[in-house]
Structure 1
Amino acid sequence: MTPLPEQLKTLWLSAGLPEDFLSNLSLVGNPDTAVPSSFRVGLAAQISISLLGLSSAYLHYLRTGVQQTVTVEARHAALSFHSEAWYTVDDALYGGEIWDNIAGLYRTQDGWVRIHTNFPHHRAGVLKILGLSDTPDSRVAKAEVIPAILKWDAQALEEECGKHGMCVFKLRTLDEWERTKQAAALVDAPVIDLRYVGDATIPTFGEKTPNMPMGGVRVLDLSRVLAGPVAGRSLAAYGAQVLLITSANLPSLPLLDIETSLGKRTTQLNLSNTNESNSDREKFRSLVQGADVFLQAYRPGGLDAKGFGVADVARIKSGYPNSPQQGFVYASLRAWGWDGPWADRRGFDSLVQTATGFNVDEGNAYHQFSKSQGAESEWAPRPLPMQALDHAAGYFLAFGINVALARALTTGRSHEVRVSLAAVGKWIRSLGRLDPETAFGSLARPFPKRSWPPADEIKDLSVIWNERRGAESMPITKSGRKKMTALRHAAILSKTPVREGLLDEQKERHWGAPMRLDVDAPVWI
């Protein structure tokens, strides 16, 4: 058994959780050889997943008095940080690509930039700035983007795209990043920021003797892409009823949505505030009244503009007829934090890696290793082997929610939980670096290729799911549903194992893999 890292203990104790409960956690394996990287992302995976698992066990203890052990194996945790790559549908890889064909790193006149164009409106906006455009008959190719970006200075392109809300950032060294006003604004930002919102009654979550840590907890999930959805998926695994709210008017990313929606119910509502008589907004207000957790990853200010910011939710909750002081947890994700000149800018994991020095440092370490092996290769920026900031942020969000729920059970208070990708990146850096030989040499274990049939270790760590089309739209006895395999949750609880995969369908009519964003009615069950 591996000794508990001090970084894990620090986060646990800083959240006000009892030190003696740490004895219930067992870590297995060497996280520093679990994935090839000069950053300790294997350790980041094991710590963040362990904190979620142990806090779930603690929440269950507060509700039932039952103690249990939690075990997290390093390689399993590292693979979980790339979970979107390992799932299959009907004995095949799900079609499509995670990345848009022009997304990525490009040379400029004086350096590099990374563009993020996975959403159609972001793609169109970036192309317009570059003087390019798609046509009904053809899409712009990377070969056309290369010379267009090469005409720009990196800083100028970043600033121009920022003016229009586009997702383009300059490649920086760590030193260059630390000299920015945004980095200065994040110096004292905690990786998990819990803020008191107001007093409330102590909740029961509808189940006095729950079988799962989050049994009876209702979670509204208004998040997309990775970090927020990973948090919501994790809460569902620990027993929460998670209702994912999306809009038919917004673009989706099916390749990611299918995997991150496991265990959730899904519905679609139009929350536009252009018409106060919008019936979907009334349905949503009703859902907010009955929710215990409000999880959101909208662009900064997006939900406030729609009337569903923290203060708005507090007002809605105070009008709940059966419990005028009902508490709640409001959990939010941002790319760049809540302070500084970039606080309101959009951002994604790959962009934060690029702007804060990760790609340069990883590129330097790999280039040094390659030279030590006699390889003559040109230096290039190198991304982390997975979207580590996103996944760590997702597990930290869920951990923060657990901490806030534990406080609610003991004090009755409502809390806001804040996590940003930039603060998570700063925390990952604080874990230290590995020398190039350790990071990329013979002891480091590369990820298997995304393939069908899957690699043996992926197969051994996966679980089968059945498609769920909604209790009303499809009887549970009907055949013809899709079958899905996905990686198991990496935290193993001894007495309340997570809910995942195939369950008793007569008892769990609303459980499974929705595989669509519009499976359910917008109601709590």
Structure 2
Amino acid sequence: MTDSGSGTDTVSAPTADLAYAWSALGGDPALLAHVSLVPRRGALRARLPVRELARACVGACALAAAELGARRAGLAEVPGVRLDDGAIATAFVSERHLLVDGRAPVNFAPLSRFWRTRDGWVRTHANYPHHRARLLATLGVTEEDPDAVGAALAERSSRETEEAVYAAGGLAVALRTPEEWAAHEQAAAVARRPLVEREQLDTARARALSHLDVSHLDVSPLLPAAGVRVLDLTRVIAGPVATRTLALLGADVLRVDAPRLPELPDQHADTGFGKRSAALDLVADRRAFEELLAAADVVVTGYRPGALDRFGLSARELAERRPGVVVAHLSAWGSYGPWGGRRGFDSLVQTATGIAALEACEDRPGALPAQALDHGTGYLLAAAVLRALAERTEHGYGRCVRLSLARTAQWLTNGIQHGPKGHLAYDGPDAWLAERDSALGRLRYALSPVAFTGGPGDWARPPGVWGADPARWGDGGLDSVR
């Protein structure tokens, strides 16, 4: 069991990085004084300041939650936020800590890895069957044989492979140095954007968030998102981490997936805490989806930019049909520039932006100690939603927020400094792991690092079976919260 620390181990929060994230969210800088930190040596060890990135993202999310909770509950003061490197480091690799009936998950398929090419390296992503099939077809390989894939890639250049696989609808990215990425047109487009893009969507007065009764806080946690209905249209890690966090904070989160694109079971289990999951065809089941949208307060999307527009799910179209809605968009590369419409994942963004080159070991590309772009952006996305809800309570109007993994990577490589290491050591995750039964079996899982005085310590419900829930909202909602 890791020592949870004491008052003498608590220091002021790393203000430069947290203040930057909090400013990007439009937060009041005076509230930063409510944040404290327990630093731990050895947490998220890397050449790049990954621990500092994680602290800032989780801290901004916890502060946004505390602020919204205080506003809704009528508290005289925003509750204190406590960041612990141990909790953060454990949560940032939550997918590695998950056990289902004692079985460890499979996080990467055999063909999702670095490969040598004729002139360097390329990273592929083939966890999903359709991406794997497109990769193999591009390379002219008929079977899932790593030796055959390696031989085919050894005859190609990295950039040629990148373009050919993407053209076929697959995923492969050439390894670039930070300097090579900085010279890329997409990098320039990313650098011109703020960490968190925020805009007002409409001029309609939004439904007000109800007052939260805190007279019973001795037995029940303060849930800032209680009664907020979140329509979750995300996949993989970053988006689901954001909606998993909103569920922790009391939101009614309904994840909706297309029946033809089933999620990876272990991935869904790790990010499915607190949520319900339904399968819905946006063409055949359009009426059911519109009924969900008509009662939603927040819509979170994590598909590549433009992929949902043909269904009328752009931010503006959503606001026209649901005035006052908060729309949160997540993408890999941003929704602009030459790569704006491309698919992407954390490992690929690390490869393209120079992170894998900076973390290289001997003559092989490296990786961050966690999928930190996914997790960090996920907590920032949740924070952006919470801040949008807080602003909506004061000014009304629908809002849209946009984040990208590439912009978070740009911040990590160009804007963050190494911070305090602390006297305590991170000697394992045990203090921040829990177990519970579920429809999937007995689960061991990482607890959320989002912590503030009076807030929740765990999710109200474990993850369920993918797509097994009805496509409707629960009995709660803002109108029922008093």
The TM-score normalised by the length of structure 2 is 0.89
The alignment's TM-score, normalised by the length of structure 1, stands at 0.82
Q: Structure 2 residue aligned with 1:514, among 441, 463, 475?
A: 463
Q: Show the counterpart of 1:507.
A: none
Match 1:153 to one of 154, 157, 168:
157
Decide whether the 8 Å contact of 1:171 with 1:357 is kept in 2.
yes
Structure 1 counterpart of 2:353, which letter?
T
Q: Check the 8 A contact 2:177/2:358 in 1, yes or no.
A: yes
User: Structure 1: where are the runs of 5+ without partners?
Assistant: 135-139, 273-277, 318-325, 368-378, 449-456, 469-480, 501-510
CA 1:259–1:524: 2 relative to 1, 3 Å: same
Indicate the residue corresponding to 1:343 in structure 2. 340
* Alignment RMSD (CA, Å): 2.2
Partner in structure 2 of residue 299 of structure 1 = 304
- 1:433 deviates by 6.2
Residue 101 of structure 1: aligned partner? 110
Given the alignment, which residue of 456, 461, 467 partners 1:497? 456
Structure number, greater radius of gyration: 1
The code of the aligned residue for 1:227 comes to: A
In the other structure, the counterpart of 1:252 is: 263
Q: What's the secondary structure of 1:465's corresponding residue?
A: strand
1:35–1:444 CA contact under 8 A, matched in 2: no
Q: Which residue of 2 aligns with 1:184?
A: 188
Deviation at 1:315, TM superposition (A): 2.1
Residue 235 of structure 1 corresponds to which residue in structure 2?
A: 246
Tell me by how many angstroms 1:338 deviates.
1.7
**Residue number in structure 2 paired with 1:128:** 137
Higher mean C-alpha displacement, 157-166 vs 458-467:
458-467
Residues 1:484 and 2:448 are matched in the alignment: no
Q: Which secondary structure state, in structure 1, belongs to the residue aligned with residue 253 of structure 2?
A: strand
Partners of 1:431 and 1:185 in 2: CA distance: 17
Where do residues 372-391 of structure 1 align in structure 2 (5 Å cutoff)? 379-391=363-375
Deviation at 1:3, TM superposition (A): 2.8
Aligned with residue 353 of structure 2, among 340, 356, 361: 356
Q: Distance in 1 between matches of 2:417 and 2:83?
A: 22
Q: Where has structure 1 moved over 4 Å in runs of 4 or more?
A: 431-435, 443-446
| 2:384 pairs with 1:395 | no
Q: CA deviation at 1:75?
A: 2.3
**CA–CA separation in structure 2 for the residues paired with 1:14 and 1:426:** 14
* TM-superposed deviation, 1:444: 11
Distance 1:444 1:18, change over 3 A: closer
2:99 to 88, 93, 99: 88
Amino acid at match of 1:117: A
Task: Output one character per residue of 1:251-302: Cα deviation in whole Å (capped at 9) or x when no partner.
Answer: 3211111010001011110113xxxxx2x11111110110111001112211
- After superposition, where does 1:19-38 map in structure 2 within 5 Å? 19-30=29-40, 33-38=42-47
Is 1:425 paired with 2:434? no
Counterpart-to-counterpart distance in 1, 2:210 and 2:395: 18
Deviation at 1:310, TM superposition (A): 1.1
Do 1:182 and 1:341's aligned partners in 2 also have CA atoms closer than 8 Å?
A: yes
Secondary structure at 2:201's aligned position in 1?
Answer: strand
**For the Cα contact (< 8 Å) 2:57–2:380, is it kept in 1?**
yes
Amino acid in structure 2 at the alignment position of 1:17? G
The CA deviation at 1:432 is 4.3
Distance 1:255 1:172 in 2: 31
C-alpha separation between the residues in 1 aligned to 2:348 and 2:91? Answer: 21
Post-superposition offset of 1:242: 0.5
Change (3 A) 1:45 1:101: same
- Bigger relative contact order (CA 8 A; separation at least 6): 2
**Alpha-carbon offset, residue 485 of structure 1:** 2.1
Aligned counterpart, 1:68: 79
Q: Is the 8 A contact 2:72 2:209 kept in 1?
A: no
Q: Secondary structure at the match of 1:493?
A: coil
Distance in 1, matches of 2:26 and 2:378, equals 20
How is 1:211-226 mapped onto 2 (pairs within 5 angstroms)? Answer: 211-226=222-237
